[in-house]
């Protein structure tokens, strides 16, 4: 297990203990799988991936554990304008925002220091302490624009 994964596991265990919840090996397996994801994943896809690896865990456990990972700051949930949520790890990851194509549902990750600076200035202007944020821009990707012509 990597140093980052060990640190994430300690954060989860601390959160569970603080909230009088049980640590289970299944939660650790789900945590490690989420941390290994390099993009966004739906809960049902994560469940199927675990099932295909021979991990015996219920769909409900996957959903509940994902909610726990969000609450303790290890993962993030995004809707991307669709009827189902996508999850991604945020622990140990660089912050990024998203461009979402309304046609093919492609998600493009980006980071822009100027946007971050402006957001921080807005918070400062309103004496507001930001804890987190998401920035999503919906539109048409270059591939779908080409198909439309």
pLDDT digits 0-9 by tens, 109-138 = 899 999 999 999 999 999 999 877 888 899
Q: Which domains does the chain have, with CATH numbers?
A: 1-93 (1.10.10.10), 95-149 (3.30.1490.190)
Residue 31 contacts residue 8 (beta carbons within 8 Å): yes
Specify the pTM.
0.77
48: Cβ contacts below 8 Å, ≥ 6 apart: none
Q: What is the pLDDT of residues 75-98, one digit of tens each?
A: 989 887 767 788 988 887 778 889
């Amino acid at each position: 297990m990597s140093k980052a994964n060990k640190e994430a596991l300690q954060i989860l265990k601390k959160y569970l203990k603080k909230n009088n919840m049980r640590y289970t090996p299944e939660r650790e397996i789900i945590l490690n799988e989420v941390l290994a994801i390099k993009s966004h994943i739906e809960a049902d896809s994560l469940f199927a991936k675990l099932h295909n690896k021979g991990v015996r865990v219920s769909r409900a456990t996957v959903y509940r554990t994902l909610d726990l990972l969000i609450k303790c700051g290890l993962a993030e949930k995004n809707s991307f304008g669709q009827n189902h949520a996508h999850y991604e790890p945020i622990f140990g990851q660089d912050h990024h925002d998203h461009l979402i194509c309304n046609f093919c549902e492609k998600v493009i990750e980006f980071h822009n220091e100027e946007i971050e600076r402006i957001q921080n200035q807005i918070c400062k202007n309103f004496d507001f302490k930001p804890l987190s944020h998401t920035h999503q821009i919906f539109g048409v990707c270059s591939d779908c624009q080409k198909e439309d012509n």
